[in-house]
Amino acid sequence: MNRTAIYPGSFDPVTLGHEDIVRRGAKVFDALTVAVGVNPGKSPLFAPEERVELLRQVFADLPNVEVASFEGLTVDFARRRGARVMLRGLRTVSDMEAEFTMALANHALAPDVETVFLMASERYSHISSTLIRQIAQMGRDAGREHLRHFVPGPVIEPMIAKFAG
């Protein structure tokens, strides 16, 4: 059986926490698509194409991981990819509440697509894209020094550049 999953999210930007979930997920599934959700109502820091490009750099060494963007319902994208699983990461009890609600809604929309959770690794469970956007605003040197504890290498300079000037 070919186990194909998608890992949907905003990835604005991709963090070490996301990277950890993808690397662990890539061992569990035959094929994994990291799916950048495009929400026309939101104004992200990185454009969808930029987020896709950064993710591709971070996962270039993983042959069974692809990166794509999508608009509309996540379950529809999963079906288009032939994926029966949506992978999500869980950090905290508050994640749990929101994720449970979303998993129930998605299951109502598409009973044939299952949501599967991986627990965040202890060392990354405090990391969020929101925190990283705040750190990058600290300025070039301090920002660069701190960011390397939170984001994969290819994200550091593009992140600093967003707040330079």
Active site positions, annotated: 18, 42, 91, 129
Residues of span 18-37 touching ligand ADP by CB under 6 A: 18, 21
Scanning 17-25, 49-57, 77-85, 132-140 for contacts with ligand ADP by CB under 6 A, the matching segment is 17-25
The set of long-range contacts for 161-164, using a CB threshold of 8 Å and a minimum separation of 24, is 162/45, 162/46, 162/136, 163/136, 163/137, 163/139, 164/140
Size of the site for ligand ADP (CB under 6 A): 17
Is residue 74 at the binding interface for ligand ADP, with CB under 6 A as the rule? no
Among 44, 48, 89, 143, the residue binding ligand ADP under the rule CB under 6 A is: 89
Question: Which residue from 145, 144, 85, 143 is spatially nearest to 115, judged by alpha carbons?
Answer: 85
Among 32, 34, 67, 127, the residue binding ligand ADP under the rule CB under 6 A is: 127
Residue 135 to residue 58: CA distance in whole angstroms: 20
The identity of residue 142, as a single letter, is A
Are 44 and 52 in contact, with CB atoms under 8 Å apart? no
Interface positions with ligand ADP (CB under 6 A): 9-11, 15, 17-18, 21, 88-89, 91, 95, 120, 124-125, 127-129
